Amino acid sequence: MSTAHSTGLPRRHWLYSIVGTVLLFLVLPVCIVIPESFSDSKYLSFPPPGFSLKWYSAFLSSDDWLSSARASLVAATLTMLFATPVGVASAYAISNLGPRFQRISMAFILLPVIVPSMLIAIGIFYVYIRLSLVNTMLGIVIAHSILAIPFVIVTLLSALRSFDLRQELVARSLGAPRFAAFWRVTLPQIRPAVISAALFAFIISLDEVIVSLFVAGGNNMVLTRRMFVALRDALDPTIAAISTFFVVVSLAVLGTVALLSRKR
Amino acid sequence: MRPAAFLAAAVSLTIATSAVAAEKLSYVTSGGVYLENIKKAFLEPIGKKLDIEWTIETADNDTQVRVQVASGNVTYDIVEFGASQCALGASQGLYEKLDYSIINNTDLAPGSFSDYYVGSTVFSIVIAWNTKTAGANPPQSWADFWNTEKFPGTRSLRKTARGMLEAALMADGVPPEKVYPIDLDRAIASLRKIKPKIKAWWLSGAESQQFVKEGGIDMIGAFNARMDSVASDGAPITYTFNQGILDFGCWAIVKGSKKGDLSMRVLAEFVKAEYQAEMSRLSNYGAANTKILDTGKISPELAKRLPTAPDNLKRQIFANPEWWVQNGAKAIERFDQFMAE
Amino acid sequence: MSDEASSAGAIEGADNVNVRPLALVARRERLLMIGLFSPAFLLMATFVVLPIAWLFYLSFVDNAQFSTVHYSRMIEYSSYYKILLTTLRISIIVTVICAIAGYPVAYLLAQLAPPWSIICLSLVVIPFWTSLLVRTYAWLVLLSSNGPINSFVEWLSITDKPLELVFNETGTVIGMVHVMLPFFILPLYSVIKSFDWSLIQAASSLGAPPISAFARVFLPLSLPGLVAGAVLVFVQSLGFFVTPAVLGGGNVTMVSMKIASNVQNYFEWGASSAFGVVLLISAFGVLAIAARMLGLERTFGMTR
């Protein structure tokens, strides 16, 4: 293993073994999910007693699961499409504002990260009951966007900070309208950050449980909510199959993004 | 087919289907295997008979009902929950009053219906054990279950007040017929004795099955049908109906339902013995209707295993709905307090 | 911080050169920025601040009258106090473990060259791609008394009885550390990555032994990242719900579980809100201390 910096800092075998153990700890549950999804047992047991594809067919042949998968994908896509531009606009504004304003706006934007999610969930739930937004796709997208926007903004801010905003000014001074200057000069340079922010938004929506437990039921019951309900009824490997399915979907999204950004 | 002809055919097809369109009615219950059986036993035949197209939704709690009643935007019609939820909801005005001139309640078990709900399936929290680890000397009463010296092994109980308070009292020596009215202090004191020995508290039926199948639990207070099903999957599990605590599921009509009359007619069908017998046959649950054995659908073998079979019934007690309606909130609060200790 | 200030200053300065120094231009610029910021602002105000203010109000209302009953009940019944204590204790333990386990990973990760850095980094983010619920149930399987970890321990014949790893606080902490660890490692990693390594090299070339170079130079430099990560982990841990519900086996009750059960089962907004307010105050208290120590921006990991 080579290191980028030869610093003379303590770098001993015990360090490698600690890091190795921690990394193993991190991937361990993921490692058992995939084999578990091919189990032939009705219960969650490891190692699986035998091989079977029945949990995939249970997932793919169930209208309930499929409609939830659809609801989840729609919610995640819409959240991504909504939270990303809102986040880009805010990050751009924040990086252009004075330090005092920056401090206040950041504290505000980061509220969803600071406030315990259960409190956000029942707060949104309370407001949604009055606005009849419970179980609507609009409501789910708004709720998920609120949770995603802080991550989008933080990701973009660090990119904007390393970008010299004077470049945009030069473009404007050469006569480019403001928006065009942003679109042609700034955006292309922060594009990797925009893409990872969008992916963040997608994943946050896809994996969100707590708020969804309150506001994402009925015809728009997202997968996490349905999994939570289903797990009360039967702890079988269907959820492992779905999760494996989603790892594949996520990898496909990532791969597509990687391919697209290479093409340009 | 030419586009115009295709279009015409498509249009006539939609007209045709809309002409026979059945009335829509929503049915809400927890999902999974239970729902599959409910569909086969009740929804499909009754839907055919009354020309109803079901909109089925799954819900693990009655929060949605509260949301709809509070906001006045009611889309639910018939809901099915556990009796404690029905009773609590009824006391909070979530459900329509039932019309027993339409619903025939003469065959229903006493206590399984009220002004606002009728019983569906009957189940029992029984003492179950692993035949490999505890089979030589299985517990036969809650007192045995509480006695960890004579009956060693890991234990699990349900994390709810309903049922567990009754079990705790019987364990403490209260005769089954004297359980009600529940002495909360005594019940909690008794639970406090067993708490350090409870390895895990289960919340859902699925958890109880996972615990005995894979979780290393030797003795458990769990639903009879859940233990039947885990046993049929090859787990070494058996149980006794001794001192089982019977409870039931229930149907109710959500307050403000736009299909109140139709829902009432549906409930009148739901309580009939023929459908309830079919449900018992499919699920091993007992039924609120006491005449299911007369339908001939239940084999003598199955009849013996149902919690509502006469032989089993006399060994168990019914969770008392009236007591729970009046004291449920307080009891649950006390139980939650106790769990957090 | 000074970075942004100078670039903002540079914009104004540039405007002054290119356009005539009109206050109007600066004002329009400000309005535009505020306009761009407003969608996010309105969302947060409507769906985060307003509801929480509402819950705050509800926590002081009983039967449509002002009342502190929801708070006095918390004092009266010891269980609320115990739930809060459990929540704080678990959050602290999770934070400490994340710091101890996460710091070496971020430290080593920042020094690795590709492809190892990429491989290790993807191992850190892999859990993000697996559903939280599924990961939690995966731990239930892994940790159970006849699960793989106990089989392994038995095979090593360390103990004759299976370890009690699940249905208790241990299981809850393991599950929570697993969820929070990437959130700790990633910001710290980016902080360490941006270090001026020449400083550390200078220290060691001046003869400082590795340990003291680490303790005197490296650790203080990475402290802001460490604290920022720890604060994030702690605050998020306070609100955990799924993990203790599944891995606690009913033996662990955290604040969120009580709040959820009050709302879902009884529609008890007052009691839930009061408990939520207490939780929020705990979270803000920790943040305030961290902000005082390090400055707000650093706390939120805004420093590069």
Residue B281 scores a pLDDT above 50: yes
- Helical ranges in C239-268 per DSSP H: 242-247, 255-261
> In the structure encoding, which two tokens stand for residue C257, read together?
């579980």
To the nearest whole Å, the CA of C88 is away from the closest chain A CA by 13
A227: closest CA of chain C, how far (Å): 8
Which of A18, A44, A93 has the CB atom closest to C137's CB atom? Answer: A44
Could you report the per-residue pLDDT of C239-273, keeping only the tens digit for each? 999 999 989 988 899 999 989 888 877 777 888 89
Average pLDDT of chain B, as a whole number: 88
The answer on pLDDT for C102 being more than 50 is yes
Q: Looking at beta carbons, which residues of chain A come within 8 Å of C267?
A: none
If you measure CA to CA, which chain C residue comes closest to B329?
C266
pLDDT at B218 over 90: yes
Is C286 a residue whose pLDDT tops 90? no
Any chains having at least 3 CB pairs less than 8 A from chain C are: A, B
Query: In C, which residues are within 8 Å of B336 by CB distance?
Result: 79, 253, 258, 261
pLDDT score, position A3: 43
The structure tokens listed for A97 are 């504002």
| Beta carbons of A142 and C40 less than 8 angstroms apart | no
Nearest chain A residue to B66 by CA: give it: A129
Q: Which of residues 8-67 of A touch C (CB under 8 A)?
A: 8-11, 15-16, 18-19, 22-23, 25-30, 32-33, 36, 44-47
DSSP codes of every residue in C87-98: HHHHHHHHHHHH
- Cβ neighbours of A85 (radius 10 Å): 14
Q: Which of residues 164-183 of A touch C (CB under 8 A)?
A: 164-166, 169, 173, 178
Q: How far apart are CA C211 and CA C18, in angstroms?
A: 54
- What is the distance between the alpha carbons of residues C174 and C139, in angstroms, rounded to a whole number? 8
Q: Find the residue in B nearest to A47 (Cα).
A: B214
Please, which pLDDT band fits residue B59 given cuts at 50, 70 and 90? confident
Closest Cα partner for B272 from B39, B107, B110? B107
Contacts of C228 (CB under 8 A, 6+ apart): C187, C188, C191, C290, C294, C298, C299, C300, C301
Distance from CA of C76 to the nearest CA of A (A): 23
pLDDT grade, residue B9 (50/70/90)?
A: low
C-alpha radius of gyration, chain B, whole number: 22
What does the pLDDT average to over A230-241?
81
Nearest chain A Cα distance for residue B24, angstroms = 15
Preceding omega of A49 cis (within 30 degrees of 0): no
Question: Least CA distance to C263: which residue of chain B?
Answer: B63
Question: B224 and B126 in contact (C-beta within 8 Å)?
Answer: yes
Q: Which positions ≥6 away from A240 have C-beta within 8 Å? A: A33, A34, A36, A37, A39, A44, A55, C134, C138
Does the structure show a pLDDT above 80 at A2? no
How many residues would you count in chain A? 264
Residue that is written with structure tokens 């203080």 in the block? C220
How many of the other CB atoms lie within 10 Å of CB of B99?
A: 15
Tell me if C131 sits within 8 A of A23, measured CB to CB. Answer: no
Amino acid letter at B270?
A: F
How many Å lie between the alpha carbon of A10 and the closest alpha carbon of chain C?
A: 5
Note the pLDDT of residue B15. 45
Phi, psi for residue B154 in degrees, rounded to 5: -75, 150
Q: Which residues of chain A does B204 touch, with a Cβ-Cβ cutoff of 8 Å? A: 231-233
Query: How far is it, in rounded angstroms, from Cα A206 to Cα A151?
Result: 15
Q: Which of B92, B200, B329 sits opposite C250 (nearest CB)?
A: B200
| Residues in Cβ contact with B204 at an 8 Å cutoff, skipping those fewer than 6 apart | A231, A232, A233
With 80 as the cut, is the pLDDT of residue C15 above it? no
User: What integer pLDDT is reported at residue B5 of this predicted model?
Assistant: 55
Quickly list DSSP for A50-103: SB--HHHHHHHT-HHHHHHHHHHHHHHHHHHHHHHHHHHHHHHHHHHS-HHHHH
Q: Which two structure tokens, joined as six digits, stand for C218?
A: 């490296």
Question: Any CB–CB contact under 8 A between C242 and chain B?
Answer: no
CA angle B112, B118, B122 (to 5 degrees): 50
* Cβ atoms within 10 Å, residue A108: 17
- Residue A227 and residue C131 in contact, taking contact as beta carbons nearer than 8 Å: yes
Distance between CA atoms of C257 and C80, rounded to whole angstroms?
12
Above 80 in pLDDT, residue B178?
Answer: yes
Q: Which of A130, A229, A235 sits opposite B31 (nearest CB)?
A: A229
Q: Do A118 and C124 touch (CB under 8 A)?
A: no
Nearest C-alpha neighbor of A239 from the set A25, A90, A6, A56: A56
Residue C187 with chain A: CB contacts under 8 Å? none
Cβ–Cβ gap B213/A231 under 8 Å: no
The model's pLDDT over C154-204, given as tens digits with 9 standing for 90+, comes to 888 777 777 888 889 999 999 999 999 998 998 888 788 777 667 767 776
pLDDT band at C41 (very low <50, low <70, confident <90, very high): very high
- B with C: how many residue pairs have Cβ under 8 Å apart? 68
Backbone angles phi, psi at C65, to 5 degrees: -130, 155
Please answer yes or no on whether B33 and A228 come within 8 Å at the CB atom.
Answer: no
Select the residue from C169, C255, C265 to test the B interface by mutation, using most B Cβ atoms within 10 A: C265
Indicate if the pLDDT at residue C20 is higher than 70.
no
Distance CA C185, CA C229 (A): 8
Tokens 């399984």 found at: B112
Q: What is the mean pLDDT of residues B84-99?
A: 89
The chains found to touch B (3+ Cβ pairs under 8 angstroms) are A, C
Q: In 3-state terms, what secondary structure has residue B230?
A: helix
- Residues with Cβ < 8 Å from C151, sequence gap 6 or more? none
- Distance of alpha carbon B140 from alpha carbon C103, whole angstroms: 54
Residue C295 has phi, psi (to 5 degrees) of 85, 140
Banded pLDDT at B141 (limits 50, 70, 90): very high
Q: Is there a contact between C287 and C299 (Cβ–Cβ < 8 Å)?
A: yes
Contact assignment for A99 to C1 by CB distance below 8 Å: yes
* Tokens linked to B165: 């308070």
Residue A212 has pLDDT above 70, yes or no: yes
State residue C21's pLDDT score: 59
Confidence tier at C17 by pLDDT (50, 70, 90) = low
Q: At residue C121, what are phi and psi to the nearest 5 degrees?
A: -65, -40
Instruction: Decide if C4 and A161 are in contact by the 8 Å CB cutoff.
Output: yes
Task: Give the end-to-end CA distance of chain B in Å, rounded to a whole number.
Answer: 74
Q: What pLDDT is stored for residue C303 in this prediction?
A: 41
Q: Which residue has the tokens 């540039």?
A: C14
CB contact under 8 A, B204 and A228: no
- In tens, the pLDDT along A45-83 reads 778 888 888 889 988 888 888 999 999 999 999 999 999
What share of chain A in percent tops pLDDT 90?
26
Query: What are the φ/ψ torsions at residue A42 (nearest 5 degrees)?
Result: -80, -5
Task: Using an 8 Å CB-CB cutoff, list chain B residues near C82.
Answer: 340-341
Going by pLDDT thresholds of 50, 70 and 90, the confidence category of residue C300 is low
As beta bridge partners, residue B80 has B251
ipTM higher than 0.85?
A: no
CB B20 within 8 A of CB B258: no
What torsion do the CA atoms of C145, C146, C148, C152 make, to the nearest 10 degrees?
A: 80
CB contact (8 A) between residue A23 and residue C301: no
For residue range A94-118, what is the model confidence (pLDDT) as tens digits? 888 878 888 888 888 888 988 888 8
What pLDDT sits at residue C99?
Answer: 94
Cα nearest neighbour of C138 on chain A: A29
**With 70 as the cut, is the pLDDT of residue B3 above it?**
no
What is the distance between the alpha carbons of residues C128 and B77, in angstroms, rounded to a whole number?
A: 40
Which residues of chain C lie closer than 8 angstroms to A224, CB-CB? 131-133
Interface test with C, best of B88, B195, B214 (most C CBs within 10 A): B214
The Cα C195–Cα A6 span in angstroms is: 14
pLDDT band, residue A26 (cuts 50/70/90): very high
Confidence tier at A186 by pLDDT (50, 70, 90): confident
Query: d(Cα A97, Cα A92) in Å, to the nearest integer?
Result: 9
Residues on chain A touching C50 (C-beta within 8 angstroms): 127
**Where does residue C126 fall: left (phi above 0), alpha (psi -120 to 50 degrees), or beta otherwise?**
alpha
Q: How far apart are CA C65 and CA B268, in angstroms?
A: 43
Q: Which residues of B touch A219 (CB under 8 A)?
A: 57
pLDDT at A227 over 90: no
**Calpha distance A201→A80 (Å, rounded):** 5
Extract the tokens encoding A106: 């950041």
Tell me the average pLDDT across A145-161.
Answer: 89
What is the spatial distance between Cα C119 and Cα C115, in angstroms, rounded to a whole number?
6
Cis check: omega of the bond before C115, within 30 degrees of 0: yes
Q: What is the pLDDT of residue B14?
A: 46
Q: At what angle do helices A238-263 and C132-143 cross, to 10 degrees?
A: 130
Q: Which two tokens stand for residue A10?
A: 């303590």
The Cα C77–Cα B225 span in angstroms is: 37
Record: contact C148-A47, CB cut-off 8 A = yes
HSE value, Cβ hemisphere, 13 Å, CA-based, for A235? 27
Q: Do B207 and A134 touch (CB under 8 A)?
A: no
CB B39 within 8 A of CB B27: no
Determine the pLDDT at residue A90: 93
Is residue B117 pLDDT above 90, yes or no? yes
The pLDDT assigned to C6 comes to: 44
C266 touches chain B (CB under 8 A): yes
Q: H helices of chain A, where?
A: 13-37, 54-60, 63-96, 99-109, 111-114, 117-131, 137-162, 166-173, 178-181, 187-207, 210-215, 223-233, 238-263
- For C275, half-sphere exposure in the C-beta direction (CA atoms, 13 angstrom radius) is 31
| Count of A-B CB contacts under 8 Å | 65
Chain C within 8 Å of A257 (Cβ-Cβ)?
Answer: no
| Contact call for A92 and C123, based on CB within 8 A | no
